[in-house]
Amino acid sequence: MGSVLVGTAGVDITPPRGIELAGYAFAVRPAEDVHDPLSATVLAVRAGDRALALVGLDVVAVGSDFLAAVRRTLPYDVTVIACASHTHSGATLQRFPFDSRFYGIVDDAYLTSVAERIGTAIDEALARALPARIGVGCGRVTTVAANRRQSDGQIDPDLGVIRVEDVDGRLLVLLLNYACHPTVLHADNRAASADFPGAVRQRLRTSLGDVPILWTTGAAGDQSTRYTRRAATFDEVDRLGSVLAEEALRIIPAIQTHPLEFLAVRAGVAHLPARALPAVGDIQTALDRAMRDLRAVRGGPVSTERAAENQVFGYQQALTYARHGFPPAIKAKLWAVALNTIHLIGLPVEPFVEIGLAIKARCRQPCWVLGYTNEMIGYVPTAAAYADGGYEVGAAVVGPEAEEILVNESCALLATLEAQTP
């Protein structure tokens, strides 16, 4: 392969006041204020006539309408992989089926504006692309993410950091990856915020200067700060963000970089069987029971109340599905990327943490799992989780077979890269 060139750019995507903050199921939350800026960061890579744009952006999710709008702004072919941070104090760029409020409602003007700004940023990043060096490091953080279904359950403590610099060693961009919902702030928050990924970026820039930082969220379907946060406040956002930033700052100086000489991109599809739903009456009975359970714990520990709320939300969404139905199989579009020997797999789902760990364990090269990419379809729980039910299972459109299929298809796609990586 010929020379591989890298460029970066960033844009502000802070939503205007009045736009709906999304992510908390069925909550109507118009933004009344802005606490901190929400942004999008582009890492553009060009190798010959092939171009890739990795985009990290502070929104709940992105969908096909948004991606099509971005592509319409570009006069040339480029693969766009958009990685939503999944902050629940930002807007959504994905239209959910049935006009459901599950992820919130899309504001068309905001979608168009963000698409145009990101298209411009991709164009600028490619225009100033230059030869680069790249390296990867991995830290360990056990005090931010927790398993929200079980306080002592499985987590993925890896904090991945990719360092990209120019040939003279000047830092061009950092990519970070961590498996945790950015949901320190709860549904009563009415101020737009990037949540803890924004605090990570701010702390790193204080130490490193105004360097672009592209945040990606890993296999965080059952991962959040429910059992690690001390409060649902902006001070707590800063505290947890600082924990992650300090670990990143510890490992960044030790990352060894090498000339970026290889780029490969592969697309794939995982056909995930749809979930078999109980009868509407059975779901309604379960929802009524969950509502009683929620009333019983109101005013108690916040983590207990939040878990009970999630049960209600899951049954509410399952009831929506049961009334409308969905296709027998759901297509999940996968993207695999190799940057030298660093491999990324983009999944358009909220995968449970065990799924991400299984994919990483089977990859022979350093591998990141990027959740919440491109055309998001929702949760993919583990097969075992279906017996326990709960919010994520109730909200899932796929069945228990999806775990194995998604892992196998992801690993097969990554294997095609491993076979080609020098």
What's the whole-number average pLDDT of the chain? 93
**336 and 318 part of one domain:** no
pLDDT confidence band for 317 (50 / 70 / 90): confident
Q: What is the mean pLDDT of residues 410-420?
A: 93
Q: What percent of the chain has pLDDT over 70?
A: 98
Task: Clarify whether residues 156 and 63 are in a common domain.
Answer: yes
Assigned domain for 64 exists: yes
Token match 């692309």: residue? 129
Express each pLDDT in 331-349 by its tens digit.
Answer: 999 999 999 999 999 999 9
pLDDT computed for residue 100 by the predictor: 57
- Token pair for residue 101? 């409020």
Does pLDDT of 146 surpass 90?
yes
pLDDT band at 183 (very low <50, low <70, confident <90, very high): very high
Question: Which of 324, 339, 361 is the endpoint of a domain?
Answer: 324
Beta bridge mates, 79: 52
Task: Say yes or no: 233 and 307 in one domain.
Answer: no
- 284, part of any domain: yes
Are both 109 and 238 inside the same structural domain? yes
For residues 295 and 372, state if they share a domain: no
Alpha carbons 39 and 10: distance in angstroms, whole number: 7
More confident site: 32 or 397: 32
- Averaged pLDDT, 268-273: 96
**Per the domain annotation, does 78 fall within a domain?**
yes
User: 3-class SS at 332?
Assistant: strand
Q: Which has more pLDDT, 306 or 181?
A: 181
User: Is 413 part of any domain?
Assistant: no
Rounded mean pLDDT of 231-238?
A: 97
pLDDT band at 278 (very low <50, low <70, confident <90, very high): confident
Task: Note whether 189 and 311 are same-domain residues.
Answer: no
The reply to whether 203 and 301 lie within a common domain is no
Conformational region of residue 218, where left means phi above 0, alpha means psi within -120 to 50, and beta covers everything else: beta
Of the pLDDT bands very low, low, confident and very high (cuts 50, 70, 90), residue 390 is confident
Q: pLDDT band for 97, please (50, 70, 90 cuts).
A: low
For 290, the domain range is: 278-324
pLDDT for 311 equals 83
Residues 358 and 232 in one domain: yes
Same domain, 209 and 235: yes
Residue 8 lies in a domain: yes
Token pair belonging to 141? 């953080």
Q: Is position 298 within any domain?
A: yes
pLDDT at residue number 98: 57
Pair (22, 126) in one structural domain: yes
Contacts of 44 (CB under 8 A, 6+ apart): 6, 7, 8, 9, 51, 52, 53, 54, 78, 122, 125, 126, 129
Say how far apart CA 72 and CA 41 lie, in whole Å: 19
- 224: Cβ contacts below 8 Å, ≥ 6 apart: 145, 146, 148, 180, 181, 183
pLDDT band of 2, cuts 50, 70, 90: low
Q: E strands within 13-93?
A: 33-34, 39-47, 50-57, 79-84
Alpha helices, DSSP H only, in 268-325?
280-297, 302-324
156 assigned to some structural domain: yes
State whether 343 and 319 are in the same domain. Answer: no
The reply to whether 25 and 167 lie within a common domain is yes
- Cβ proximity of 326 and 97 under 8 Å: yes
